[in-house]
Amino acid sequence: MVGFNSKMFLIILLVFVYSAAEIFAATVTCRKGPCFLKKISCPAECPQTTSYEPKAKVCYLNCNSPVCKPECRHRKPNCNSPGAACYDPRFIGGDGIVFYFHGKSNEHFSLVSDSSLQINARFIGLRPAGRTRDFTWIQALGILFDTCTFSLEAKKVEKWDNEVDHLRFTHNGKELVVPEGQLSSWQSPENNIRVERTSSKNSVLVTLPDIAEISINVVPVTKEDDRIHSYQIPSDDCFAHLEVQFKFYGLSPKVEGVLGRTYQPDFENPAKPGVAMPVVGGEDKYRTSSLLSADCGSCMFSSAGSLDQEDPLVMDFSMLDCAGGYSSGHGIVCKK
């Protein structure tokens, strides 16, 4: 009888906790799209839209999706999902295919280029004796949209210290400060870009409303990474670099760039299936003269360009989950 009562008490307690989570759950509302002005409650698994716990999932609603259903997601980059650019550097395209693009150390390459959005990356790296190419990592991002520019970079440091912030930001050519502290944020005077810290240091979420969301971490090349891959990292530089995951809204079917082209509806990825580390080229096609230039051979960006959000050819791409063989309905299919 005691055991029965204990079970009943546990069931009642669980029901109470679940009900409390539902009662105190936040609601999310869209200001545009199919879910316009609908108030939708967050699920019990992630009842709030913000969290001070670094690994916690938060409630998110994709306002461009015809399915008005909130989802739980991490606010930090997921290096194993579409839109990711991590490591040295490994990309996962909009089609879910993994590929490597090594570029060249101390040069800049277009990751995404569309009529109203340009995202470039600065690569850093080194070439140990006997190797035919550089080991490279993404050290900085440069973003052009409307008539604005924004850059974010990992500072060069000799030794990594988790208690020190290694991020540097500029907006329209002027350095800006985003106060340290989780959920601390900065917003541009035009309200067209927002930077929010997702941990007290070294992690941010950059939002360009209706254009893109970019989750970013700064990390070093660790001694274990160096041992496994034989990078031969010098003692005076830990090669601090960025882990990045992109989420795009309203890309055109003609979008270009190392990563951007994988979001084209009819894109055929040149990465060879079955190869452990499929490397794709295109350095000359995607090289830009600086972090904030759109002068590569395939660049599409124009500061006067704008996308009509009602255009049926304009596409929305979320951070897809390929676990279920996702198909977006725009010709983008996850392939394992």
What digits encode the pLDDT tens for the residues 189-238?
999 999 999 888 999 999 999 899 999 999 999 999 999 999 999 999 99
Share of the chain above pLDDT 70, in %: 78
Could you tell me which of 108, 196, 201, 198 has the C-alpha nearest to residue 157?
201
Residue-level pLDDT at 54:
52
Predicted TM-score (pTM) of the model is 0.76
Rounded Cα–Cα distance for residues 267 and 92 (Å): 14
Better-scored residue on pLDDT, 146 or 84: 84
Helix (H) or strand (E) segment spanning residue 245: strand 241-251
Residue-level pLDDT at 24:
53
pLDDT at 116 over 80: yes
pLDDT in tens, 137-177: 999 999 999 899 999 999 999 999 999 999 999 999 999 99
Tokens of 257: 């760039």
Could you tell me which of 123, 137, 168, 102 has the C-alpha nearest to residue 233?
137
Would strands 212-219 and 241-251 be described as parallel, antiparallel, or unpaired?
antiparallel
pLDDT at 100 over 90: yes
Q: Which of 17-26, 51-60, 65-74 has the highest mean pLDDT?
A: 65-74
Share of the chain above pLDDT 90, in %: 58
Quote the mean pLDDT of the chain: 83
How distant, in Å, are the alpha carbons of 172, 180, 233 from that of 202? 22, 9, 21
Q: Which residues contact 279 (CB under 8 A, 6 or more apart)?
A: 99, 100, 101, 102, 271
**How confident is the model over 106-129, as a mean pLDDT?**
96
